[in-house]
Structure 1
Amino acid sequence: MDDKFGIGQPVRRKEDVRFLTGKGRYTDDIDMPGQAHLAILRSPHAHARIVSMDTTAAKAAPGVIAVLTGHDADADGIGLFPVQIEVPARAGTPPLYCPPRRILQTDAVRFVGDPVVAVVAETRSQAEDALELVEIEYEMLPAATDTGSALDPATPVIWPERGSNLCVEWSNGREEQADAAFAAAAHVAKVRLVQNRVVGNPMEPRVAIGVWNAEKERYELTSPTQGMFRVRDPMARDILKVPADKLRVMSPDTGGGFGLRSKCFPESAMVLWAAKKLGRPVKWRSGRSETFVCDPHGRDHVTEAEMPFDANGKALGLRVRTTAAMGAYLCDFGPRIPTIAGARIAGTVYDLQAVNMRVKCVFTNTVPTDAYRGAGRPEIAYTIERLLDLGAAHFGVTKDEIRRRNYIRPDQIPYTNCVGNVLDSGDFGGTQQKALDLADWAGFARRRAESRSRGKLRGIGIGYFVEASGGAPTEWARVAMTEDGKARLHVGTFSHGQGHETAFAQIVHSRLGIPFEDVVLVQGDTDVIETGGGTGGSRSSQMGGVATLRASNAVLDKAKRIAAHMLEASVADVELDGARFRVAGTDLAVTWPQVIALANDRKRLPEGETPGLDEKVLYKRDTECNFPNGCHVAEVEIDPETGVLEVVRYAAVDDVGNVINPMLVHGQSHGGIAQGLGQAVLEEARYDAESGQFVSATFMDYAMPRASDLPDLAIDFNVVPTPVNELGVKGAGEGGACGAPPAIVSAACDALGVAHLDMPLTPEKIWRTLRAA
């Protein structure tokens, strides 16, 4: 078989032909017959009591069909939004508090953008015009938007029934071990750092179309997601209060996710509720500024961390105290991200067992936070990498050397980390060395001197990370051979830019020998996909890919049995040779079309076989996750007159196990690095300290990275296959967002000669640092 399209080949993405020629089908491309349009009046205040609400004028406006409030939702039995994870509280502290969240607020608003009234009209512009006619009287309340002071006695309490702004305090334990490590330390490195709040901003803003199918007596939602079942199940159970089979969710082409799409959203509930209430389809589309104030945000932590070292620069443990903003309400997995999710890789790639982490999740009058590319792991990696840089400075050793002294050694693998997860594979020292070579670490002094000759400051930094990838522990796939010789692959994962149509087709092609172009991906519809964990946590290749492989194997096994019957041979003697089934050592063979034809002929089928070649599997892994990792090296150049920082060189070596398609993985690396660079240098969601107003809700005030902000990226792999799945693959989607921030901040601190500087590294912040020095 020609392996041009097989596993390991840099096959161009087949889906790009559709996207680049304007033939993609996104939710906003869809208009239902007779559809109405919904627009949302959102709170202009960070915190206020709703005194009165008058919708009379809005109801009389041209084209308006309905004006809906939270009182209407209550009357119709619309439920509250659930949090979908339980985070255990640290001993002696109160349990997690999940405040009530309606789809439309009735008593108070708690962040700028909190939805209050929905207007449904014949056109979008009519609905938006009618919003101006809604009269709401607010009683202003003091707001709390600063994460670090959310628990201070003087800070306003957002949920008085809770008694404080504490959502939950979590700890991984091991306090005694950590205390003992600090007692034995020759030196303790300390840092206080801020994880700046960021906004996901996928290329395609959120859209939702709700339909009530009266014939089938069910709701139907069309919306971009990262997996339909993550949306369907809580929406049906908790909000619409119907059985799951009474809600169909469909996701067509989706332009980006970053963790933000896998949520149960108020706007999706609104269009479904309105569609049934009005008896016609209802569509809502977010504007770009609305994306800033209604999509979940990411990060927003304040952390104080300490690392004890022995006299030889070996880290003995770690103590972390983090305050993490949840926003005004809890999003689906909000409190899980800085606690359980991040802690899965506590210690990252270093031999650290005496690790004690405490996280206080707090409420603030801000947009709720949830998963954002990396979902807790970039924050842990950033903290540890900053402490190692400080340790290196104290001991007078280089950044690469301090890490060599602390990596988990190859002879320690499999390594059980401090929270009980088993790092099953990895070559951390080897990966670092490949990255240093790729970056020309040894030649840095010459480049620094050249920069100095031009009046510029140059620095170099390292960021090593490990990811815990995998997400939900099961995944579903189905491979069905059609009578015209194509393979229809149904998967429970969901592609929103990763290239599944290409990578999964490579797996099927490699296993079944049929042409790569004859593999057709089917996804994104709960009517045709039985179950699935969607895409998140870098899980697609290791979960959807393995499920695809197993379903392909099941089809191949049956096809061989049928071919053996046709060839009057033993199944053990039949082998797949390209696109033919051949009796080993002979010229006797049948083709795929012949096998498919017989498989669909009930009269000629072997006894005991069912018609067709259509197999499905539910793959369940035996481990919680696996551990892709990588070493990133950044070089920056700073203009001391203006404070402008430029990332001028960047090298990354990632271990993602076996690589299905290196071109796709390079693309994932590039995207992750760009997002990591954005957080490190440019992006920050800011709130006014007094009013609580969101002051960076447009691209005029929120700086996204552009092509000119990135240098050429040198990317390579250190392939260390994981033994925990038959493809040997690890996750690949989030590494760049983990590695880039510590590498870039490390380089900037090196250039400036300072111990630490918080992200984002804006020109003003750097200029002030230089002036202070």
Structure 2
Amino acid sequence: MAGKYVHQSVLRLEDPELITGNVQFLDDIELPGMLHAAFKRSDYAHARIKSIDVSEARKLPGVVGVYTAEDFGDYVKPGPLQVPPPTAIKGATYVARPTMPIAKDKVRYAGEPVAIVIAESRYIAEDACDLIYVDYEPLDAVVDLEKALQPGSPLVHEDLPSNEAGHVRQERGSWEQAVKEADLIIKRKFFINRNAGAAMENRGIIVQWDKHAKQMTIWCGTQSVIALRNQTAARLGLFESQVRVITPNTGGGFGPKINTSLPDDVLITYLAMKLDRPIKWFEDRRENFLATTSERDQVHYCEIAVKRDGTIVGLKDLFYHNTGAYNPYMMTIPLNTQTHTVTNYRVPNFLTEFYVVFTNQMIVTPVRGAGRQYGVFVMERMLDAAAKELGMSPVEIRRKNLLPSNAYPYYTSIIGQDFVEGVLDSGNYPSAFEKTLELIEYDKFVNEVQPKLRAEGKKVGIGIACFSEGTGVGPYEGARVTVGGNGKVVVTTGYTSQGQAHYTTFAQIVADQLGVDVKDVKVITGDTGYFGWGAGTFASRGITVAGTATHLAAQKVRQKALKLASKILEAPEEELELADGVVRVADIPSKFIALGDLATLANPMRGTMEPGTEPGLEAVAYYGPPYGATGAGAVGLILELDPETMQVSLEKMAFVHDCGTPVNPMVVDGQIHGGIQMGVGDAFYEELIYDENGQLVTASFMDYLFPQATDMPKKLVLGHMETPSPLNPLGIKGVGEAGAIPIPAVFVQAVENALQDIGVEFDRDTLSPSRIFTYVQQAKGA
């Protein structure tokens, strides 16, 4: 669906103010009489709290209060869960241990708060934290996923019989039958590393309680204003209308900011009300590494059953998933792993099973990709292993097993994070694969370029991988569209923005429906004072779900405008059009009424109105899909490996993606670029490493490597395909996480290809120069 604005690369409306510094971020907000908070955090990953001495801290000038769990009394309690348990999956077992806002007898991860200081400045609050003395009884830390489930392991939660937080087994077809039919069974074990979201702007919150108006205002970068409002009201015994949550401009989210029951959410709202003064807390980078949720830590035991000709007969994947010390997000991530393991290929028999494990590490919640990339990594690497065993090329085995273009809708039989069976709504995977091969010039590189470079002593490799991205899941989002008396249009939604260009793309959708200039559409997101319904920003669902709600609301306004204009202009509705800010008779353009004038007439100040008439040119609409729309694509990568330093240079990448109808192709490109950067970090740089005591040893950017612009591919070629989704009127699919999903799989394959003469095979998704060196030495028998 193309229009004047939809499907066009409209320049981002929010950028002029951003690049000139004329916007307000959270830390820019200063309120009269504002206090500042700091947390005293545990140095131990696992320990009993014997006593906490806060007497010296309370004496420090400028300290307003020092509080431990004891001071909060019954207010301190776990939870609630961010995501409900997967009751739709038959046989699933689980225990819920939602986040504790402050440790109360025992700490379960390094960085868990044991006290909070409120002071006149952040400096004083930090100094006071140093004067808090905690007497701990250290306990053995639980850090190894598999050892954590063994009898006799220390328990993260001693009221439970084990560290098992959940178990899910799903099967399509019969793995036993696949084993009988297969000519070959190939087994592999894979390790998936752990990464930080590492947004440019850390987490923070400002809370103000107005005791006269009985109104609480919260400013923060949350990805779910509605959930934060509702949970805050419930905790404090307020009406939801007494809590307003506002998200200022926010420097990135990537998943961790979806949480609404972390210590700052719970404790600072309570203390602002108790002290009757506004309070600000903003985490530093070390806190962000230690105490903001992170993701990625799984161990997979995989088997693939194949015929001699490369046909996949079945796949089995048993894996362990680290949920950290608590599990507020239940099973979203491992369920995403399950649903994304075989979505690109014909796999008639698929057995997938996982165990969720409590450990003494930071809580695991989604980071961009949210488990999808692990399923893709497992499938792509098992295809690589099968191709090697069968003497086939990576291209040949993928081409043979890709789902055909006439397979949709394709029912996967695997229940996902939205608790319904996964359905691939549309796509053309073979075409995306072939287009990627063409853009990366695969055959030319393998037959001509690579042999020549290898003859010169260069270690060059090529990789190819496919992926899918489940997007646009429910439950729903909503939007209100209002035409003002000046003809300008305001769009409000409960969805929040962290840089995704919603202010532009939503405006494009509305401008097309109402025939106005896109610059005359103002989009307001993430403010419960304007719109009070919605689920939140996650799962690449903004343009798909909130965008569709915006489209439907604009359509309602359009119909109201046509109906009213038909009476005023004395012309049938079907002869009218909305364009250039007016409603006019299509074949008599001089006969028109301005949209703003129409809005004024729709809101009479005197007289009478016909029964059933709704005043104003305004409408609200909601949209909830029956299941998510699936984006998909493929990526090709050419790289060069320095045989001395093992440093990798990305020479060329071709990335082909199908997101249905791209509302703004330029924004789509930007989303893919950003995702690729995070994928490159995942594949070669970023890794949160905990030692055997549960201590994070990569808690700064000196130790936690981060890809720079110079580490991106020297040549990046993007290709787009458009198979519109049948699930929404615009045919949209999401794109926010696509770029990050397939990069580790294609990167590892390409490095192996560069080292083909040595015969290296990697069993993990994150490499590094030192790690490559170690594998090379092992392959050489050194």
TM-score by length of 1: 0.95
- Distance (whole Å) between structure 2 residues aligned to residue 111 and residue 381 of structure 1: 30
Q: What displacement does 1:55 show? A: 0.5
Q: Give the corresponding residue for 2:319.
A: 322
- Distance (whole Å) between structure 1 residues aligned to residue 168 and residue 237 of structure 2: 31
Q: What displacement does 1:233 show? A: 2.7
Q: Which amino acid aligns with 1:149?
A: K
Return 5+ residue gaps in structure 2 as ranges: 415-420
**Alpha-carbon distance change, 89 to 605 in structure 1, aligned in 2, over 3 angstroms:** closer
- Alignment map for 1:302-321 (pairs within 5 Å): 302-321=299-318
- Distance (whole Å) between structure 2 residues aligned to residue 599 and residue 38 of structure 1: 50
Of 251, 256, 260, the residue aligned with 2:252 is: 256
Q: Give the corresponding residue for 1:502.
A: 504
- Distance (whole Å) between structure 2 residues aligned to residue 258 and residue 760 of structure 1: 19
- Alignment map for 1:163-202 (pairs within 5 Å): 163-174=161-172, 177-202=174-199
3-state SS of 1:701 partner: coil
- Alignment map for 1:696-707 (pairs within 5 Å): 696-707=698-709
Q: Does 1:400 align with 2:395?
A: yes
Q: Does 1:55 align with 2:38?
A: no
Q: Give the corresponding residue for 2:442.
A: 441
Of 604, 619, 622, the residue aligned with 2:623 is: 619
Q: Give the corresponding residue for 1:594.
A: 597
- Alignment map for 1:95-244 (pairs within 5 Å): 95-99=93-97, 101-174=99-172, 177-237=174-234, 239-244=235-240
- Alignment map for 1:462-473 (pairs within 5 Å): 462-473=464-475
Q: Which amino acid aligns with 2:441?
A: D
Q: What displacement does 1:449 show? A: 3.2
Cα pair 1:304 1:322 within 8 Å, conserved = yes
Of the structure 1 ranges 456-465 and 36-45, higher mean CA displacement relative to structure 2 is found in 456-465
- Distance (whole Å) between structure 1 residues aligned to residue 710 and residue 178 of structure 2: 46
Cα pair 1:39 1:128 within 8 Å, conserved = yes
Q: Give the corresponding residue for 2:428.
A: 427
- Alignment map for 1:264-343 (pairs within 5 Å): 264=260, 265-331=262-328, 333-339=329-335, 341-343=336-338
Please give the per-residue CA displacement for 1:261-294, whole angstroms capped at 9, x wherever unaligned.
Answer: 1112211212111111111111111001110011
Please give the per-residue CA displacement for 1:595-627, whole angstroms capped at 9, x wherever unaligned.
Answer: 233223355887453332111112232x21110
3-state SS of 1:421 partner: strand
- Distance (whole Å) between structure 2 residues aligned to residue 91 and residue 520 of structure 1: 46
- Distance (whole Å) between structure 1 residues aligned to residue 259 and residue 61 of structure 2: 34
3-state SS of 1:50 partner: strand
RMSD over equivalenced CA pairs, Å: 2.0
Q: Give the corresponding residue for 1:610.
A: 614
3-state SS of 1:725 partner: coil
Q: Give the corresponding residue for 2:769.
A: 763
Of the structure 1 ranges 348-357 and 662-671, higher mean CA displacement relative to structure 2 is found in 348-357
3-state SS of 1:37 partner: strand
Q: Give the corresponding residue for 1:672.
A: 675
Q: What displacement does 1:450 show? A: 4.4
3-state SS of 2:368 partner: coil
Of the structure 1 ranges 101-110 and 569-578, higher mean CA displacement relative to structure 2 is found in 569-578
3-state SS of 2:588 partner: coil
- Distance (whole Å) between structure 2 residues aligned to residue 164 and residue 89 of structure 1: 24
Please give the per-residue CA displacement for 1:710-769, whole angstroms capped at 9, x wherever unaligned.
Answer: 013211101111111110010110111111111111111211233334232111111122
Q: What displacement does 1:675 show? A: 0.6
Q: Give the corresponding residue for 2:39.
A: 40
Cα pair 1:476 1:530 within 8 Å, conserved = no
Cα pair 1:147 1:324 within 8 Å, conserved = yes
Q: Which amino acid aligns with 2:436?
A: A
Q: Which amino acid aligns with 1:86?
A: P
Please give the per-residue CA displacement for 1:113-152, whole angstroms capped at 9, x wherever unaligned.
Answer: 0110000000000000001111111111111112242213
**Alpha-carbon distance change, 607 to 307 in structure 1, aligned in 2, over 3 angstroms:** same
Q: What displacement does 1:346 show? A: 4.3
Q: What displacement does 1:91 show? A: 7.5
TM-score by length of 2: 0.94
- Distance (whole Å) between structure 2 residues aligned to residue 454 and residue 13 of structure 1: 46
Cα pair 1:209 1:268 within 8 Å, conserved = no
Q: What displacement does 1:558 show? A: 0.9
What percentage of residue pairs aligned between the two structures are identical? 35
**Alpha-carbon distance change, 605 to 749 in structure 1, aligned in 2, over 3 angstroms:** farther
3-state SS of 2:670 partner: helix
Of the structure 1 ranges 263-272 and 700-709, higher mean CA displacement relative to structure 2 is found in 263-272
Q: Which amino acid aligns with 1:98?
A: A
- Distance (whole Å) between structure 2 residues aligned to residue 232 and residue 301 of structure 1: 33
Q: Give the corresponding residue for 1:477.
A: 479
**Alpha-carbon distance change, 710 to 225 in structure 1, aligned in 2, over 3 angstroms:** same
- Distance (whole Å) between structure 2 residues aligned to residue 658 and residue 335 of structure 1: 31
Q: What displacement does 1:467 show? A: 1.3
- Alignment map for 1:423-572 (pairs within 5 Å): 423-445=424-446, 446-572=448-574
Cα pair 2:341 2:378 within 8 Å, conserved = no
Cα pair 1:43 1:113 within 8 Å, conserved = yes
Please give the per-residue CA displacement for 1:225-283, whole angstroms capped at 9, x wherever unaligned.
Answer: 1120132333433x445443343221111111111111122112121111111111111
- Distance (whole Å) between structure 1 residues aligned to residue 358 and residue 297 of structure 2: 12
- Distance (whole Å) between structure 2 residues aligned to residue 24 and residue 684 of structure 1: 33
Cα pair 1:79 1:241 within 8 Å, conserved = no
Q: What displacement does 1:209 show? A: 0.9
Q: What displacement does 1:644 show? A: 1.4
3-state SS of 1:468 partner: strand
Q: Does 1:415 align with 2:407?
A: no
3-state SS of 1:708 partner: helix
Q: What displacement does 1:79 show? A: 3.2
Of 303, 323, 343, the residue aligned with 1:348 is: 343
**Alpha-carbon distance change, 661 to 55 in structure 1, aligned in 2, over 3 angstroms:** same
- Distance (whole Å) between structure 1 residues aligned to residue 224 and residue 158 of structure 2: 36
Cα pair 1:231 1:262 within 8 Å, conserved = no
**Alpha-carbon distance change, 305 to 88 in structure 1, aligned in 2, over 3 angstroms:** farther
Q: Give the corresponding residue for 2:418.
A: none
- Distance (whole Å) between structure 1 residues aligned to residue 609 and residue 563 of structure 2: 8
- Distance (whole Å) between structure 2 residues aligned to residue 241 and residue 80 of structure 1: 16
Q: Which amino acid aligns with 1:440?
A: E
- Distance (whole Å) between structure 2 residues aligned to residue 328 and residue 241 of structure 1: 28
- Distance (whole Å) between structure 2 residues aligned to residue 436 and residue 553 of structure 1: 41
- Distance (whole Å) between structure 1 residues aligned to residue 555 and residue 607 of structure 2: 23
3-state SS of 1:298 partner: coil
- Distance (whole Å) between structure 1 residues aligned to residue 608 and residue 631 of structure 2: 45
3-state SS of 2:207 partner: strand
Q: Does 1:245 align with 2:244?
A: no
Of the structure 1 ranges 100-109 and 506-515, higher mean CA displacement relative to structure 2 is found in 100-109
- Distance (whole Å) between structure 2 residues aligned to residue 454 and residue 17 of structure 1: 49
Q: Which amino acid aligns with 1:616?
A: V
Cα pair 1:204 1:254 within 8 Å, conserved = yes
Q: What displacement does 1:628 show? A: 0.4
Please give the per-residue CA displacement for 1:166-217, whole angstroms capped at 9, x wherever unaligned.
Answer: 111111144x711211221111222211110001110101111122221343
**Alpha-carbon distance change, 90 to 613 in structure 1, aligned in 2, over 3 angstroms:** closer
Q: Which amino acid aligns with 2:519?
A: E
**Alpha-carbon distance change, 226 to 316 in structure 1, aligned in 2, over 3 angstroms:** same
Q: Give the corresponding residue for 2:66.
A: 67
Cα pair 1:39 1:284 within 8 Å, conserved = yes
**Alpha-carbon distance change, 647 to 230 in structure 1, aligned in 2, over 3 angstroms:** farther
Q: What displacement does 1:88 show? A: 4.8
- Distance (whole Å) between structure 2 residues aligned to residue 206 and residue 191 of structure 1: 39
Cα pair 2:483 2:596 within 8 Å, conserved = no
3-state SS of 1:553 partner: helix
